[in-house]
Amino acid sequence: MARLFVDVTPLRESRNFRLLFTGHLASMLGNQLTVVAIAYQVYQLTHSSLWVGLVSLFQLPFLIWGSLWGGALGDRTDKRRILAIGGALLALLSCGLAVNSMLAHPSLVAIVLLSAAAAFGGGFVNPARNASIPRLVSPTKLVSAYSLNQVGIQVATVVGPAISGLLLAGFGVASCYWVDVASFVVFVVATLRMDPLPPSEGVTAISSWRATKEGLAYLRTHKVAQGVYVADLNAMIFGMPRALFPAMGLTVFHGGPQLVGLFFAAPGIGALLGAVTTGWVERVDRRGRAVIVAIVVWGVAITLFGLSPWVGLALVALAVAGWADVISAVLRNAILQSRIEDQYRGRLSAIQMAVVNGGPRLGDLESGAVAGITSTAVSVVSGGLACVVGSAFVAWHWRGFWNERASELGSSDASHS
């Protein structure tokens, strides 16, 4: 039974990983509070769901910009410095949101600009954090480390919104922002207590633009990394129906806001269960095939969600989809970080951040457009089936990714094939 649950060895054996994990968990919890608080405050000020969506969409280019710059910089400087500077910047921005919310007439423009800057800051920090993990744990514990990372993410995703609801009801919007400030203070302190993470030997100082171009050129030759990105994009663009959850809950199942909330929560609950039971994932050898299988399970579960005549079955299908997604995420991270050279990890992690954050938003567009042409249920079902077909195409076209094996790492740690 112990081998079923996530392996906590990286937390026991690596002080640096323990510090990074603690700081990251604190910052993720705080960030979830701010995400909810921004949406709540924008709706209070505008009484418009469209404005809530536009504020989120406005953040995307800044997040991608921050990811690319932070990834390029992280490959040629001390990653710990990037983490500390980025965390301090994010604390200041959350402080600005808190002060603005305490004004008699909070500024919507300030919320838009500060949240966009925070998206840039988050993008700046995340590639360096993700690329640091292989430096903090042994290669045999890389899957365990990313499994623990997923546990932290899912705990924050489930617990954070619940805490924000209590704070909003009891203390107001500003309290969420101030807790976020405190969370980033914890992150910065934990980061500064880590050992330095200097760039690999032989890495030369070049401009961020040139470094980004080098990263893209490296990606063009790396079929395994390409497979990681395309597999995730396939799942998120075709099989991510979150934009349809309100319509599914209100018009298809004729429920209320509570049901819509359950639809949003169900994948997270499944993902949390998957994250804490990933002990077996470390023993998977054919990791590329396992990713494809997990994404096929995701697509089938989403299809079942669209076809289900019963609410209970629909919720179970979404939970299964969330479980499959977290298994895919753990394996994709392990494949990417173990197969690329250390000097490119920051830049390829930045591209991964762009994929992870951009894919669901493109999925919102795809599912909404298809629903507008056909119907909500048809959009969900067709998206799930397209995800399954797309997975078969990825397996066929990116054979190096499909055939990737953990047992081959001893002789080809950075194989491109």
Identify the pLDDT of residue 385.
97
pLDDT at 384 over 70: yes
pLDDT confidence of residue 49: 60
Half-sphere exposure of 370 (CA within 13 A, CB side): 22
User: Average pLDDT of 280-298?
Assistant: 92
The rounded distance, in Å, linking the Cα atoms of 252 and 307 is 11
Q: Can you tell me the mean pLDDT for 4-23?
A: 92
Q: What is the mean pLDDT of residues 248-269?
A: 82
119-135 pLDDT per residue, tens = 999 989 988 898 899 88
The domain 206-417 is placed in CATH, from the list 1.10.510.10, 3.30.1360.40, 1.20.1250.20, 3.30.70.2740, at 1.20.1250.20
More confident residue, 330 or 4: 330
pLDDT at 411 over 50: no
Q: Which of 25-34, 296-305, 337-346, 367-376 has the lowest mean pLDDT?
A: 337-346
Question: How large is the average pLDDT for residues 61-74?
Answer: 85
**Least reliable range by pLDDT among 51-55, 68-72, 142-146, 193-197:** 51-55
For residue 18, give the nearest of 132, 180, 156 by alpha carbon: 132
Superfamily of domain 7-205: MFS general substrate transporter like domains (1.20.1250.20)
Neighbouring CB atoms inside 10 A of 279's CB total 18
> Which of these ranges, 139-143, 155-159, 208-212, 260-264, has the smallest mean pLDDT?
208-212
Q: How far is CA 202 from CA 63, 78, 343, in A?
A: 29, 14, 9
pLDDT of residue 47: 80
With bands split at pLDDT 50, 70 and 90, how would you rate the model's confidence at 417?
low
In the predicted model, what is the mean pLDDT of residues 274-295? 89
pLDDT at 111 over 80: yes
In this prediction, residue 416 carries a pLDDT of 56
Lookup: tokens for 331: 């394996």
pLDDT of residue 278: 81
d(CA 172, CA 390): 45
- 54-80 average pLDDT score: 84
* Mean per-residue pLDDT over the chain, rounded: 87
Residue ranges, comma separated, of all CATH 1.20.1250.20 domains in the chain are 7-205, 206-417
